[in-house]
Chains A and B, each alone.
Chain A
Amino acid sequence: EAGVVQSPRYKIIEKKQPVAFWCNPISGHNTLYWYLQNLGQGPELLIRYENEEAVDDSQLPKDRFSAERLKGVDSTLKIQPAELGDSAVYLCASSLGLGGLGTDTQYFGPGTRLTVL
């Protein structure tokens, strides 16, 4: 079974430029998550989708970040414009179930390492 796929793996951009990250979750997984991870720290949730609905985007900086999950499968996370402080690893994860308690395992992709110069 294929895991969570993310692209690109690495991205270097100059500040104020736009950038987009793509995620393809494990087939059949209904819930998709985007996380931000700074070096040596745990992930921080940006947004969670159940199918195509964003059910938790409270930590997403909506002035510059946007996300979509059209058709409830693939997802794209965008930053426009990027700032120096956005340099981090952006992780996508997926899990099988919907709603309820968080007992489902979240499976993570390899991440996209963003460097903003």
Chain B
Amino acid sequence: AQSVAQPEDQVNVAEGNPLTVKCTYSVSGNPYLFWYVQYPNRGLQFLLKYITGDNLVKGSYGFEAEFNKSQTSFHLKKPSALVSDSALYFCAYAGNNRKLIWGLGTSLAVNP
């Protein structure tokens, strides 16, 4: 079955340190991968996506993600975390008929 996995329920980092939120995928065909962020009591906000081309994708708010075909991963990264980055992060894969297949989410806590 086609799926995305976020192996960590929660990630804790100190402010100013680099952060990584992990995502792996198991899909057939071309992997169209997305990252969204959800702040408390707010809708999902699009961060970035990989469709084709350069494996390093740059997105909003200083985030980037690296598509790694050999490791079937699409980890989200940021060089220097901010307290305001604390939120719930979702990885998703665009399946058939525009259906987004979502990971279970990773809660990021950035400590001051």
Q: A40-B105, A41-B104, A41-B105 are in contact. Are A105 and B34 (CB under 8 A)?
A: yes
Whether the Cβ atoms of A43 and B44 lie closer than 8 Å is yes
Does B43 sit at the interface, judged by CB under 8 A? yes
- Provide the residues of chain A in CB contact with B88, threshold 8 Å: 40
- Provide the residues of chain B in CB contact with A101, threshold 8 Å: 30, 32, 94, 98
The size of the chain A interface, using a CB distance under 8 A, is 28
| Chain A residues touching B, majority SS | loop
Whether the Cβ atoms of B104 and A42 lie closer than 8 Å is yes
* Complex Cα spacing A31 to B30, Å: 22
| Chain A residue nearest in CB terms to B91 | A42
Does A82 sit at the interface, judged by CB under 8 A? no
Q: Mark B51-65, 1 if CB is under 8 A from A, else 0.
A: 100000000000000
- Provide the residues of chain B in CB contact with A48, threshold 8 Å: 97-99
In the A-B complex, list the 10 residue pairs whose CB atoms are closest, starting with the nearest: A42-B102, A102-B94, A102-B98, A108-B43, A108-B44, A110-B43, A103-B51, A111-B43, A103-B32, A105-B46
Chain A: residues with CB nearer than 8 A to chain B?
4, 6, 31, 40-43, 45, 48, 55-56, 91, 93, 95, 99-111, 113
Chain B: residues with CB nearer than 8 A to chain A?
30, 32, 34, 36, 41-46, 49, 51, 88, 90, 92, 94-100, 102-105, 107
